Amino acid sequence: MYAVDYNGPSPPRGTGYHRYQLLLFVQDDSYVEPVLNDGVRGNWDLQEFVRTNNLCNRLVAATQFLSANQNAA
């Protein structure tokens, strides 16, 4: 089993609401762990990840939520 560290929502101030998605896939032994740069997770390519790891039709759960930075700009 593989997992990446969870980084909680942290949208920049004054940018409104941001959508965050959590996806759970069934994976097999051919899984290729993604190389993530914590500074640019927003540029991560989900479709490429699904293709690379043969995860088409293997999504078992998903949820999403909105978050905004309520601190004054």
- Model-wide pTM > 0.95: no
pLDDT over 80 at 1, yes or no? no
pLDDT over 60 at 50, yes or no? yes
Phi/psi at 60 (nearest 5 deg)? -115, -20
What range does the domain containing 35 cover? 1-73
Give residues with Cβ within 8 angstroms of 4, minimum separation 6: 34, 36
Average pLDDT over residues 19-46: 76
Q: How many helices (H) and strands (E) does the chain have?
A: 1, 2
Q: Report the DSSP beta bridge partners of residue 63.
A: 22
pLDDT range class, residue 71, cuts 50, 70, 90: confident
Average pLDDT over residues 36-55: 76
Q: How many domains does the chain have?
A: 1
Taking residue 44's Cβ as centre, other Cβ atoms within 10 Å add up to 13
At 45 the pLDDT is 83
Residue 48: CA count within 13 A, CB half-sphere: 6
